[in-house]
Amino acid sequence: MVYTKRVDGRKLDELRPIEAKVGVIPNAKGSAMFRSGHTLAYAAVYGPRELFPKHLQNPKKGIIRCYYNMMPFSGSGERIRPGGNRRAQEISMVMTNALNPVVDLSAFPNTVVDIFVELPQTDAGTRCAAICAASMALADAGIPMKDMVSAVACGEVDGTVVADLIYDEEAYDAIVSDIPVAVLHNSKEVTLLQMDGEISKEALLRAIQMAQKVTEKIHEIQKKALKDKYAREE
Amino acid sequence: MNAMWSFLEKLWLKEWIFFLENTYRDGNKIYAKILGLVGAAGRVIRITPLSGPYVPRVGDKIVGKVIDITMTGWRVDTGTAYSALLNVKDATTRYIKKEEDLSKIISVGDYVVVKIINVTSQNLIDLTMKEPGLFKTVGGRVIEINNQKVPRVIGKQGSMISLIKSRTGCEITVGQNGNIWIRGHSPENELLAAKAIKLVEEKSHYEGLTERMEKFLAEHGTTADITPVEQAAPEENSNERYEEN
Amino acid sequence: MIINKETILQLAKQGKRLDGRGLLEYRTPFEVELDISWTAEGSAKVRLGETVVIAGVKMSLDKPYADTADEGGITVNAELLPLSSPEYEPGPPQMKGIELARVTDRGIRESHAIDLKKLCVTPGEKAWFVTIDLISINDAGNLFDVATVAALAALKNARFPYVDPETGVIDYHKKTDQKVPLVKEPIGITVYKISGNLLVDPTSEEEKSYDARLSVATDEHGIISALQKGGDAPLTVDEIGKMIDIAMDKAKFLRNALDKELARKKK
């Protein structure tokens, strides 16, 4: 059995409808909203600001810290009790690792740039949406960056490699692998790579290549959102 | 040269060029590090940032908030991540006795117009308030704008800020850190000046900003100049309160 | 954060404010969007000036409490997100968030806005429990008023999830048409006293420069269901009376504004 027709009718490498906007949280130095289908993420950047506890300070450059959180009513089932949970902590960490290679805080020693991402509703691909939103928010804040980061969850559903899995595909009744990938736009290097499921090496490489291809489209949307903030009236 | 849009787009250049900050080089490609407007003049590529943190520089005049009183002076919040100190000996030319209560000179919560005299490699800042044009603010209000827009708010040779000052009759001190102190005859005048400054901040990347500003000030205020409020002029004693008439 | 405290105090004495508003004037725009979270049973996003709050409703089936065997329950929780202001840190709720949750909770609970008996499925065995989560997205002052409007809007939008009649298991992916039994519309208004004058809808700066405040929740019949005094300075009984009058008037104003927004969006 091969998965040829996707649950929601999309082509194998087709992304869900995406909406992106920057400057949505006035209190923050930079902010963004990124929505892919039913997965919606808000990101806000504060800093560079003083870093506590002091032993985390780096005298050569500033650091970034990501905080990923799903709102209590954003899960696909019951309410999620607020407060730290291990999944959110892990995602926060891999997000930080995905964004670190592009951020240049050498002019701001001993400081921290805090990136908060919150999701009011989700339908798979949450850490990818979070990274896309965070990337835009950092650019909106004018934090020096060497490249933009875009992310998408690709994977294999019942033998077919697809892009941008939704919840119903993750839960599909067959062998599924869910592979979130973050890609740098200029160099095409990978800064986030995780996997849930079972897959062969060959299919995995195809999934990563698909991610590199579709993140180009995501990048265009992120770039447009940044430009639109400064669009001139005619 | 025309300003073009650029964000991390490759700029192919055949000759050697000089590039200023906010860019980096990878082989023979040059990338912008931040979202900004690109301009090129001769061999120099300049990126004008649209946003970004304030980087403290020696000589900058800034408006800061006093957050602590130490043994030797005051700690000032400059809107950066870094500590800024105003030493007693740099605050006033008056002789300060050892037991004197520093909070009677400048208290926590006061806003001060100061100049940066030193920035260490770790970005710690030393300030002075002793030069002319530097003072502790009394009355009025402080507003916050994106520090990258300060040059536009000031304008070519101060033209924009002078226009706003004269039409609202307000004293306005623009800090390089994006904090701006405004004092006028009335809260309504101060509010108009604040709105005018916010307008510049919002539309800073547009052309024809001066005409836009003239129109705005005419619609919401007057087309004539207003005599400004008298200068506070604290000279020797920075603890003299300005009496409102 | 810039706080022009002295100037705010001086202006308030003359009945004026930094942003030129009247003492009893609310900021604009006022916008309400319903159903902003497809995973919540009900949700709303409310914007007042630059303050934005999202409220989400989740429902679950549980055994009723022993002393109220024929009733379901409601809980209100508030998260003041670090996303929404440089003042908030990640971690467990701080006093401001706890107070916001508890006062909003009392406003809804004590007014019997939800008929808890209608939430009962099988007395002593199964009943619906409704949780409202109030989430700050941008705190530019007056989270309290905005949060109570968001809670009300989310409750108006809330529908029971589908329950499999055979297994009794909830399928959160399917919503029924059955709305949550909302019988009253309480709204909480916080009135502030600055330099002896009373005002509403404070900015973040004004929230840091006040003498005393009184939060009052009232329903559409003018019945008070919650009160909370805050701030260091005392209030005279006369002031309290005036503040309650203002709160009732403004609750009516916001209730009308909410209805108008919802009607406008329906078109």
User: In C, which residues are within 8 Å of A117 by CB distance?
Assistant: 83
Q: What distance in Å separates residue B191's CA from the closest CA in chain C? A: 7
In a domain, C131, yes or no: yes
B7 touches chain A (CB under 8 A): yes
Computed over every residue of chain C, the mean pLDDT equals 95
DSSP characters over C220-241: TT--EEEEEEESSS---HHHHH
In a domain, A34, yes or no: yes
d(CA A229, CA A30): 12
Cross-chain Cβ contact C79/A82 below 8 Å: yes
The answer as to CATH 2.40.30.10 being correct for domain B61-136 is: no
Domain spans in chain B, listed from the N-terminal domain onward: 4-49, 61-136, 141-220
State the CATH class of domain B141-220: alpha beta
Size of interface A-C (CB pairs under 8 A): 94
In a domain, C8, yes or no: no
- Residue A6: CB atoms within 10 A of its CB come to 20
**A64-116: pLDDT as tens digits:** 999 999 999 999 999 999 987 999 999 999 999 999 999 999 999 999 999 99
Give the range of the structural domain holding residue C219, as residue numbers without chain letter. 20-266
Number of structural domains chain A divides into:
1
Do B4-49 and B61-136 agree at the fold level? yes
The answer as to CATH 2.40.50 being correct for domain B4-49 is: yes
Contacts of B11 (CB under 8 A, 6+ apart): B29, B30, B31, B38, B45
Residue B33 has its nearest CB partner, among A29, A47, A146, at A146
- The CATH number of the domain holding residue A31 is 3.30.230.70
pLDDT in tens, chain B (245 residues): 334 444 444 444 444 455 556 777 777 777 777 777 777 777 677 777 888 999 999 999 999 999 999 989 999 999 999 989 999 999 988 888 877 888 889 999 999 999 999 999 888 999 999 999 999 999 999 999 999 999 999 999 999 999 999 999 999 999 999 999 999 999 999 999 999 999 999 988 788 889 999 999 988 876 677 776 655 444 433 333 333 32
pLDDT confidence of C1, banded at 50, 70, 90?
confident
Task: Kindly identify which residue of chain C lies nearest to residue A49, measuring between CA atoms.
Answer: C86
d(CA A18, CA A36): 5
Number of structural domains chain C divides into:
1
d(CA A29, CA B120): 25
User: Is the backbone peptide bond immediately before C29 cis, with ω within 30 degrees of 0?
Assistant: yes
In a domain, C72, yes or no: yes
Give the range of the structural domain holding residue A113, as residue numbers without chain letter. 18-227
d(CA A8, CA A124): 14
Tell me A145's DSSP state. Answer: B
The pTM (predicted TM-score) of the whole model is: 0.93
In a domain, A161, yes or no: yes
d(CA A116, CA A108): 20
In a domain, A3, yes or no: no
Please determine, for the modelled complex, whether the ipTM score is greater than 0.90.
yes
**A149 within 8 A of A184, measured Cβ to Cβ:** yes
pLDDT of residue B49: 80
Average the pLDDT over C244-264 and give the result.
96
C86 touches chain B (CB under 8 A): no
Task: Write b or e for each residue in A93-114: b if 16 or more Cβ atoms lie within 10 A of its Cβ, otherwise e.
Answer: ebbbebbeebbebeebbbbbbb
Contacts of C222 (CB under 8 A, 6+ apart): C248
In a domain, A84, yes or no: yes
**A99 within 8 A of C63, measured Cβ to Cβ:** no
**C132-160: pLDDT as tens digits:** 999 999 999 999 999 999 999 999 999 99
DSSP characters over A108-121: STTEEEEEEEEEEE
A104 touches chain B (CB under 8 A): yes
- The CATH number of the domain holding residue C239 is 3.30.230.70
Average the pLDDT over C11-20 and give the result.
96
d(CA B119, CA C46): 44
Q: Which tokens belong to C139?
A: 């705190």
**C28 within 8 A of C50, measured Cβ to Cβ:** no
In a domain, A11, yes or no: no
Size of interface B-C (CB pairs under 8 A): 23
Residue B144 has its nearest CB partner, among C2, C6, C19, at C2
- One-letter amino acid for residue C48 of the chain: L
